[in-house]
Amino acid sequence: MQTTLFSRENLPICRGGSPRQRLRPLGIVFFLLVPLAALLTSEWIQRGSLESFFPSLASHTYSYLLAWIFLAAIYAAVTCLSGCHWLGVLVLGVLTALPAAVTYFKLEMRGEPFFPWDLFQLSEASGVVGKANLEIQPPMVYTILLFLLLLVVAARFLRQPRRQDPRRWQRRMACGGVSLLVSFGMVWGVYLQPAVTQWFGIIPDMWMQDRYYRNYGLISSFMSNLQALDVSAPEDYSQEAVEQLKGELLQNPSPEPFYPDSYAAKGDGRVTQPNIIFVMNESFWDVTELEGITYDQPVTPNLQRLKGEAAVGKAYSPSFGGGTCDVEFEALTGYSMEFLPSGSKPYQQHVTHDMLATPSFLKSQGYDTLAVHGYYRKYWSRDTAYPHLGIDKFIAAEDFENPEKKRSYYWGGGLITDGEMARRIIQEYENRDPSKPLFLHAVTMQNHTSYNEKNYPEEELVEITSAPEGLSQGTLSQLRDFATGIREADAMLGTLVDYFSQVEEPTILVFWGDHYNPVGKGYELYEKTGYIDPGDTASPMLHGTPLVVWSNYYQEPVDLGTVAAYEISPVVMDLYGLERPPLYSYLIQQLNVYRARTRGITVQPDGSFSDSLTEEQQAWFDNHWLLQYDGMFGEDYLNTPGGS
């Protein structure tokens, strides 16, 4: 009798009971149906509904066809090699439903989907997920039920026959081998080849990955993102190109200060090596900006006060809902996340060798360098990244003795408070080597997501006295927790300013928030208060956090406007006329052309936003990438003595 690839002799059907001819079509149906079910349910889960799926399917059919073929090849490989349809169902269900669920929750919490490089961050992710208030969604439940049904059917009706035929085993191995070849061919010959994926209509969209996943689907988007693991050099990267830019910078190493009211422009210029303290405060932004919401007490009194005696503006963050280390990386290096694969984590993937950064540059100027973090040292691989950035001493949560902690509802034992962090910063300053200036970089944790008013005793909570209609009680409950954390972050700012106002050594304090967070149900808080338009989850309004640059030797107000997080170090050095590396001089000059280029948004010099670059802006943007590539991946011609 002639056999086919999907005949009973070739694939495991069942033993006993039903006739062979009647069961053969069931195996074929499973080979077609299970990959399709996996594809549809993964889209259902990651989107929350199928409303946007069918328009995407119509517009980008080839992307979904490739995904189905890829899943079918995996299913065939597992089923043929194992002889078990139920195992193929299980593997395909897990491989699609789990990433889809991760994507859904990441989009809710951070506005970005699940990336291949997230697999390198499992320990960090598990630490956060364990504290997050995640709710299983209906599509996830229905998907589990569907695959349980498919498992039962496969186990009951598509089982191994009792009698083993050697020829049947050979055909199964051949089937499995061919399927594996197809699977690997799809990866290496299609998904890893930019020219091939673009021929199929899958166009890169690195700045808007949420849109990318909506358009092309979870499977094809995730797999094609593997291309981004390899960071390619700019087309014009060469020693000559870098040294030409370096020569232009050296011709005018100290242009006029960018801010006319700064110390560099109006001060006496006698202070050249002040102590510099960076404080990146977890989720710090001004909740009093939300229209229609009032509180029973001032929440950011110190921030408001300092607008009259410090340089104050906004830092445009590359992150939302997480990714603290991305903001930190930008602020310490002058390098932009815009040039790196969306969702990548430089501390873990790229900061694996010494590179020029604010700490390493100041260290070369005779500074002691120190970092203080209110969480564990291995988080985001800070313990290995910091030394490469020039930080000599790292104090993490393990090094605190009986610290004050709060917010233990989700975080077992609570989080080290901002007040405790302020005390540790002061302690380290007082214990410094007085013969050297100090650079201290601090990262707080107290106001980290997730939020619940049970995190504080009732008497400590900020009370909401009025709010717009339509805000749910759950959102208002979380806002009480969050606003209380903002009040305590602002108090930390006040504590540091009050202390360093009394010390004689010239000291600069730089204080900013790392990113916004979802507070309550989705983006309801921002939409109902008119902070963003409904559905505009990529709004630039969700990326500008407060930035304060204060010193104890110059207290004139300066309006910083909005600057990129990667401009923080250059701006600080420009404000106070400090010696700076060539890249920072380039970035100060770039402020005349645009203030930030982050997540596909250009912040114009007048503070307005656009999603495009002019020809002049594109040239500055490209040169920034040229210099960044040189420092991160290239030969570091810019910072090598000699040459131009």
Residue 12 CA: distances (Å) to CA of 85, 150, 152, 262: 7, 16, 15, 78
pLDDT, residue 131, reads 57
| CB of 494 closer than 8 Å to CB of 504 | no
Instruction: Decide: helix, strand or coil at residue 349.
Output: helix
The Cα 389–Cα 353 span in angstroms is 9
Q: Is the pLDDT of residue 63 over 70?
A: yes
Mean pLDDT over residues 190-194, rounded? 91
pLDDT, residue 10, reads 43
pLDDT, residue 123, reads 61
Residue-wise pLDDT for 334-382, tens only, equals 999 999 877 678 887 889 899 999 999 999 999 999 999 999 988 888 9
pLDDT, residue 303, reads 98
| CB of 287 closer than 8 Å to CB of 546 | no
More confident residue, 623 or 118: 623
CA-nearest of 319, 454, 339 to 380 is 319
Element (H, E) at 439: strand 438-443
DSSP letter, residue 381? G
CA-nearest of 371, 373, 455 to 413 is 455
Q: Is the pLDDT of residue 115 over 70?
A: yes
Task: Kindly report the number of other CB atoms within 10 A of residue 501's CB atom.
Answer: 14
pLDDT, residue 5, reads 41
The Cα 433–Cα 456 span in angstroms is 38
Q: Is the pLDDT of residue 26 over 60?
A: yes
The Cα 205–Cα 404 span in angstroms is 44
CATH architecture for the domain at 273-622:
3-Layer(aba) Sandwich (3.40)
Mean pLDDT over residues 625-633, rounded? 97
pLDDT, residue 245, reads 94
Residue-wise pLDDT for 121-175, tens only, equals 666 565 555 555 678 999 999 999 999 999 999 988 886 655 556 677 777 788 8
More confident residue, 148 or 2: 148
pLDDT, residue 11, reads 41
Output the average pLDDT for the chain.
90
| CB of 405 closer than 8 Å to CB of 456 | no
pLDDT, residue 175, reads 87
| CB of 591 closer than 8 Å to CB of 561 | no
More confident residue, 260 or 254: 260
What's 254-299 look like in SS3? CCCCCCCCCHHHHCCCCCCCCEEEEEEECCCCCHHHCCCCEECCCC
Q: Which pair of tokens denotes residue 218?
A: 């979870």
Residue-wise pLDDT for 585-604, tens only, equals 999 999 999 999 999 999 99
More confident residue, 205 or 477: 477
pLDDT, residue 124, reads 58
pLDDT, residue 253, reads 61
pLDDT, residue 20, reads 47
pLDDT, residue 19, reads 43
Q: How does residue 99 score in pLDDT terms, banded at 50, 70 and 90?
A: very high
Mean pLDDT over residues 300-317, rounded? 98
* Ranges 109-118, 226-235, 438-447: which has the least confidence: 109-118
pLDDT, residue 494, reads 98
Task: Kindly report the number of other CB atoms within 10 A of residue 318's CB atom.
Answer: 23
Q: What percent of the chain has pLDDT over 90?
A: 74
Q: How does residue 3 score in pLDDT terms, banded at 50, 70 and 90?
A: very low
Mean pLDDT over residues 54-69, rounded? 95
The Cα 517–Cα 474 span in angstroms is 15
DSSP letter, residue 234? P
pLDDT, residue 207, reads 57
Mean pLDDT over residues 172-192, rounded? 91
Mean pLDDT over residues 500-527, rounded? 96
The Cα 112–Cα 237 span in angstroms is 30
pLDDT, residue 4, reads 46
Mean pLDDT over residues 555-583, rounded? 97
Mean pLDDT over residues 183-194, rounded? 92
Query: What count of Cα atoms within 13 Å lies in the side-chain half-sphere of residue 553?
Result: 21
Tell me the Cα Rg of the chain: 28
pLDDT, residue 22, reads 47
- The alpha helices in 4-137, defined as continuous H runs, are 20-47, 53-59, 61-82, 85-110, 122-129
Q: Is the pLDDT of residue 397 over 60?
A: yes
Residue-wise pLDDT for 541-568, tens only, equals 999 999 999 999 999 999 999 999 999 9
Q: Is the pLDDT of residue 8 over 80?
A: no
pLDDT, residue 230, reads 76
Q: What percent of the chain has pLDDT over 70?
A: 91
The Cα 443–Cα 422 span in angstroms is 11
Q: Which pair of tokens denotes residue 443?
A: 């990262």
Residue 562 CA: distances (Å) to CA of 77, 109, 311: 54, 24, 12
Domain parsing of the chain, residue ranges: 20-229, 273-622
